[in-house]
C-alpha cells in the first residue's frame, strides 16, 4: 500500500471542486492510525503497555489499591464505601424526612408481622421464625445497603424455593400422625436446614463480592426477573390451596409440583373443611378490597391501611372466643415463644447439597434486590453499588442464619408500601392464636403486584418481540418445572437471544451526503454521492468466532469478487466504528479478506479498526499500517487523492 501514496496537492479554497463543501471548512491531510499515534499519542508507552502481560498489570493495580487503602484518606474512603450511612446520614433532612421515615417504619413493621408468619409456612418452618427473619436482616441491611428505599425481610419467591429444598432435605414421615415431641424434632431439623441454606447463600454472595461479580446483575434481564416472580406467584397460590380448604396434604416438590398439587387438591376436594373454607373466603373478601383501596387512593391516604394485621387480630379474637380449633378442627398457628433465639451456628453436615440449593437462592436474592434498588435509585436520583449490595445481602443472610433465620432479600410488597408511606432513607422503626387459612390468604393477597406484571405483556410485545419471548419462555419454565430450574432456563435462553442477535450480520453501503462530510446508508436517501470504483461499507456487528466466515462471505458478495461487472471496485473502505469487539477468529477473517482483495486488485482500507487487536492476534504484519485510518473521511480522502478515481476528486478532510 505504500506505493499508492502520491505527492498530489490539495486544491485551494478558490479552486473549483466537484463537491460542494460546507462553508468555512478547514482542510488537513488524511490521517492513518500510525500517523495519528505519532501526532497525538505516546506510541512508545502504548507499545510497552501492550507488551506487558495482563496478569502483571492486574497485580500492579491491586498493589496500588492496597497501598492507597493503607493510608489515612484511603482507609476513610474504604470505610465510607462499606458503611453507606456514613455518607448520607450527615446530610439527613431531619425536618423533612423524619416523620415520613417514622410512619413508614411503623407501617412496614406492622405488615412484616403477619407477612413474616405467612411466608414461614411457605418455608415449612414454624411461623415465629418468619418474625425473626423480618427483624435481624433489616438491622444488618440498614448498615451496609445502598438502597435507601429498600425493605428487606421475608420474600415469597425465596420462601417457596427454601420450602421446596427443606422438604427435600427433611421430608415428612409417611405416618403423618406425629406426637408433639416428634413434631418438635421435625420442626427443629427443618429450621436447621433453612438456616443452613441462609448461611450458604450468604457465603456465596460474599464470595461473589470478593470477586467483584456485581456485574452479573446485568445478565438477569428485566423480562427474566419479572417472569420469574410472576411464575413463582402462581406457585405460591397453588401451594396455599390446601391451607385455604383445610386439606392436610403433603407438599409436592420437584418438577411439575404445581400440577401435582392441583391434582391432589381436586382429588381431595370433597374432604375440605367448611369452617376453614368460610374463614378463607371472609379473609380474601377483606384483604383484596383493602389492597385495591391502598393502590387507588395512595395519594389521599396518610398511610396505607394495614389490612393484614387487622385480619390477623380479628381472626385471633374470633378463634379465641369461638374455640374454632377444638370445635371445628381449624388449624391454628399456636402460641408464639417470646424473646429471641440464642445464636447458634447452623448445621453444615450436608454442605454440598446445601450449596447446590443455595446457589439459585443467592442469584434470585441478588437479582431481585439489585433490580428493585435500581428502580427506586433512578426514581429518586441516587446511585447504588451492585457489589456493595452483594456484601449487604451476603452479610445479612450469613449473620441472620445464626439466629435461625431462613434466606431473605428485598421484598416487592413492603418496599412499595414503604415508599407509599413516605419513607426516604433506612432511618425507620424496625419495629397467637390465628388460623393458618388466614396466613394463606395473606400469602395470596401479597402476590397481587406479581400477578399484575402480566399486564405489561402487550406493551412488551410492541417494544421487543425478543424480550416478549424471553418473558414467556421463563414464565412457562418456572410454572411447569420449578423456580430454580425456570431461572436457569430463562438466563440461558436470554443469553442465547443475545448471541443470535450478534450473529445477524448487517453490512450497509454508504454514500457521501452532498455539502457535508457525512457518510449515510444509501438506502436512506437517493441524494448521496458515490464515486465510481470506491465502495464504502459499514459493518456494525461484532467480529468474533460466532460470525466466523459470514463476515468474509458478505463482504465478498458486496465486492462481487469473481464476477465480471461493468465498473469493478478499485477501493473498498470498511467502517468498523460499529464493531464493539474483535477476537482472534474475527481478526483472521479480516486478514483473509485483505488477501482476497489484494489478489483481485482491490485496495482494502479499514477505518476505526483497532491496531492493538491485530497486534495481539499476531496479524499486524499481514495488514499494512497504511490500511488503517482514524475515520471513514480520512480513508476516502486518501483513496481519492492516491488512486485518482474518476468522478469527484479531493484530498481534503473536513474538521
pLDDT band at 397 (very low <50, low <70, confident <90, very high): very high
Q: Which three cell numbers stand for residue 230?
A: 410472576
**Cα–Cα distance measured from residue 294 to residue 304, given in angstroms and rounded to the nearest whole number:** 6
Least confident of 297-306, 561-570, 607-616: 561-570
**What pLDDT is stored for residue 209 in this prediction?**
92
Mean pLDDT of all residues in 2-17: 38
φ, ψ for residue 630, nearest 5 deg: -80, -20
How far is 644 from 420, CA to CA, in rounded Å? Answer: 71
How many CB atoms neighbour CB 107 within 10 A? 24
pLDDT (0 to 100) of residue 22: 41
Q: Angle between the 483-502 and 222-239 helix axes, to the nearest 10 degrees?
A: 160
CB of 445 closer than 8 Å to CB of 294: no
Q: Which of 336-345, 540-549, 608-617 has the lowest mean pLDDT?
A: 608-617
- The pLDDT value given to residue 12: 36
∠ CA 545-547-548 to the nearest 5 degrees? 60
- Find the DSSP H helices in 405-480: 412-420, 436-445, 448-451, 457-463, 465-480
Kindly give the interhelix angle for 156-169 and 180-210, rounded to the nearest 10 degrees: 120
Among 155, 131, 153, which Cα is nearest to 142's? 153
Q: Name 528's bridge partners.
A: 513
d(CA 485, CA 360): 9
Residue 213 clears pLDDT 70, i.e. is over it: yes
d(CA 465, CA 462): 7
Residue 518 pLDDT greater than 70, yes or no: yes
Contact between 610 and 596 under an 8 Å Cβ cutoff? The reply is: no
How far apart CA 294 and CA 58 sit, in angstroms, is 53
150-154, 208-212, 357-361, 473-477 — which one is most confidently predicted on average?
473-477
Q: How far apart (Å, rounded) are the C-alpha atoms in residues 146 and 237?
A: 32
Which of 137, 151, 161 has its CA nearest to residue 228? Answer: 161
CA-based nearest residue to 405, from 132, 150, 135: 132
Predicted model pTM: 0.75
Residues in the chain: 655
Q: Mean per-residue pLDDT for 347-365?
A: 86
| C-alpha to C-alpha distance for 319 and 312, rounded to whole angstroms | 10
* Average pLDDT of the residues in 503-508: 78
Residue 338 has pLDDT above 90, yes or no: no
267 vs 82 pLDDT, higher one:
267
Residue 129, C-beta contacts closer than 8 angstroms, at least 6 positions apart: 120, 123, 191, 194, 404, 405, 406
CA angle 44, 47, 50 (to 5 degrees): 155
Q: Lowest-confidence range among 246-250, 533-537, 608-612?
A: 608-612
**pLDDT, position 470:** 94
Mean residue pLDDT across the chain: 79
Q: Cα torsion for 444, 450, 456, 461, to the nearest 10°?
A: -100
Closest-CA residue to 109 (of 419, 412, 430):
430
The answer on pLDDT for 648 being more than 50 is no
Q: Rounded to whole angstroms, how far apart are CA atoms 511 and 422?
A: 57
Residue 206 CA, chain-centre distance (Å), reads: 18
More confident residue, 426 or 353: 353
| C-beta of residue 272 within 8 angstroms of C-beta of residue 247 | yes
Band of pLDDT at residue 527, cut at 50, 70 and 90: low
Query: Three-class SS of residue 17?
Result: coil
β-strands 653-654, 27-28 pairing: antiparallel
Between 190-194, 261-265, 545-549, the lowest mean confidence (pLDDT) is in 545-549
pLDDT value of residue 16: 37
- Rounded mean pLDDT of 585-606? 83
* 52-66, 287-301, 463-477, 510-524, range with the lowest pLDDT: 52-66
DSSP state letters, 357-369: HHHHHHHHHHHHH
Taking only the tens place, the pLDDT of each residue in 30-66 is 777 777 777 776 544 444 444 455 556 556 666 666 6
pLDDT on residue 73 = 74
Residue partners of 272: CB distance under 8 A and separation at least 6: 245, 246, 247
Residues 576, 609: Cα–Cα separation, whole Å: 6
- Give the confidence band of 478 by pLDDT, cuts at 50, 70, 90: very high
Poorest-pLDDT segment among 235-244, 464-473, 619-628: 619-628
- Interval 418-430 mean pLDDT: 59
Residue the block writes with cell 465498473: 567
Band (pLDDT 50/70/90 cuts) for residue 273 is confident
Q: What is the DSSP letter of 341?
A: P
Amino acid at each position: 500500500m505504500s506505493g499508492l501514496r502520491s505527492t498530489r496537492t490539495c486544491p485551494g479554497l478558490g479552486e473549483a471542486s466537484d463537491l460542494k463543501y460546507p462553508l468555512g471548512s478547514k482542510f488537513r491531510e488524511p490521517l492513518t492510525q500510525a500517523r495519528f499515534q505519532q501526532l497525538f499519542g505516546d506510541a512508545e508507552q502504548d507499545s510497552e503497555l501492550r507488551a506487558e502481560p495482563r496478569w502483571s498489570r492486574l497485580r500492579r493495580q491491586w498493589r496500588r489499591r492496597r497501598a492507597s487503602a493503607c493510608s489515612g484518606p484511603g482507609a476513610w474512603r474504604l470505610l465510607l464505601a462499606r458503611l453507606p450511612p456514613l455518607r448520607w446520614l450527615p446530610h439527613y433532612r431531619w425536618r423533612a424526612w423524619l416523620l415520613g421515615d417514622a410512619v413508614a417504619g411503623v407501617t412496614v413493621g406492622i405488615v412484616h408481622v403477619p407477612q413474616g408468619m405467612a411466608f414461614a409456612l411457605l418455608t415449612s418452618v414454624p411461623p415465629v421464625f418468619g418474625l425473626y427473619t423480618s427483624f435481624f436482616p433489616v438491622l444488618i441491611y440498614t448498615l451496609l445497603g445502598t438502597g435507601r428505599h429498600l425493605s428487606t425481610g421475608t420474600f415469597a419467591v425465596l420462601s417457596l424455593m427454601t420450602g421446596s429444598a427443606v422438604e427435600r432435605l427433611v421430608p415428612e414421615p409417611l405416618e403423618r400422625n406425629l406426637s408433639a415431641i416428634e413434631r418438635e424434632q421435625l420442626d427443629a431439623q427443618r429450621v436447621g436446614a433453612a438456616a443452613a441454606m441462609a448461611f450458604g447463600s450468604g457465603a456465596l454472595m460474599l464470595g461473589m463480592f470478593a470477586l467483584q461479580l456485581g456485574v452479573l446483575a446485568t445478565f438477569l434481564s428485566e423480562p427474566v426477573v419479572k417472569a420469574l416472580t410472576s411464575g413463582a406467584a402462581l406457585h405460591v397460590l397453588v401451594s396455599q390451596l390446601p391451607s385455604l380448604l383445610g386439606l392436610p396434604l403433603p407438599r409436592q416438590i420437584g418438577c411439575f409440583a404445581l400440577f401435582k398439587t392441583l391434582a391432589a387438591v381436586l382429588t381431595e376436594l370433597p374432604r375440605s373443611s367448611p369452617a376453614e373454607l368460610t374463614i378463607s373466603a371472609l379473609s380474601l373478601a377483606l384483604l383484596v378490597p383493602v389492597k385495591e383501596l391502598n393502590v387507588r387512593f395512595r395519594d389521599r391516604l396518610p398511610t396505607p391501611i394495614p389490612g393484614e394485621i387487622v385480619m390477623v387480630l380479628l381472626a385471633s379474637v374470633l378463634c379465641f372466643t369461638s374455640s374454632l380449633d377444638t370445635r371445628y378442627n381449624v388449624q391454628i398457628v399456636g402460641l408464639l415463644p417470646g424473646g429471641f433465639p440464642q445464636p447458634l451456628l447452623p448445621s453444615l453436615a450436608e454442605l454440598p447439597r446445601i450449596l447446590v440449593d443455595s446457589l439459585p437462592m443467592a442469584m434470585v436474592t441478588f437479582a431481585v434486590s439489585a433490580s428493585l434498588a435500581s428502580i427506586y435509585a433512578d426514581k429518586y436520583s441516587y446511585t447504588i453499588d451492585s457489589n456493595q449490595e452483594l456484601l449487604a445481602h451476603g452479610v445479612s443472610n450469613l449473620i441472620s442464619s445464626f439466629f435461625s433465620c431462613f434466606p431473605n432479600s428485598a421484598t416487592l410488597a413492603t418496599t412499595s408500601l414503604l415508599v407509599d408511606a413516605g419513607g426516604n432513607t433506612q432511618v425507620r422503626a424496625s419495629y397467637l392464636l390465628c388460623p393458618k387459612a388466614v396466613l394463606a390468604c395473606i400469602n395470596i393477597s401479597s402476590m397481587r403486584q406479581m400477578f399484575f406484571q402480566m399486564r405489561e405483556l402487550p406493551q412488551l410485545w410492541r417494544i421487543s418481540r425478543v424480550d416478549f419471548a424471553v418473558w414467556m419462555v421463563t414464565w412457562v419454565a418456572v410454572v411447569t418445572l420449578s423456580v430454580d430450574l425456570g431461572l436457569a432456563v430463562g438466563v440461558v435462553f436470554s443469553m442465547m437471544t443475545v448471541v443470535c442477535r450478534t450473529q445477524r450480520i448487517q453490512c450497509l453501503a454508504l454514500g457521501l451526503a452532498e455539502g457535508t462530510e457525512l457518510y449515510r446508508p444509501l438506502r436512506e436517501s437517493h441524494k448521496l454521492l458515490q464515486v465510481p470504483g470506491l465502495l464504502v461499507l459499514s459493518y456494525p456487528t461484532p467480529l468474533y468466532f460466532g460470525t466466523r466466515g459470514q463476515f468474509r462471505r458478505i463482504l465478498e458478495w458486496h465486492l462481487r469478487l469473481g464476477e465480471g461487472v461493468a465498473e469493478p471496485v478499485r477501493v473498498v473502505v470498511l467502517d468498523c466504528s460499529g464493531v464493539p469487539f474483535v477476537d482472534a477468529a474475527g481478526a483472521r477473517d479480516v486478514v483473509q479478506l485483505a488477501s482476497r482483495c489484494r489478489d483481485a486488485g482491490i485496495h482494502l482500507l479499514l477505518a476505526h479498526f483497532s491496531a492493538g487487536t491485530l497486534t495481539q492476534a499476531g496479524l499486524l504484519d499481514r495488514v499494512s499500517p497504511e490500511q488503517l485510518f482514524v475515520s471513514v473521511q480520512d480513508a476516502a480522502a486518501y483513496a481519492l487523492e492516491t488512486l485518482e478515481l474518476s468522478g469527484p476528486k479531493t484530498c481534503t478532510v473536513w474538521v
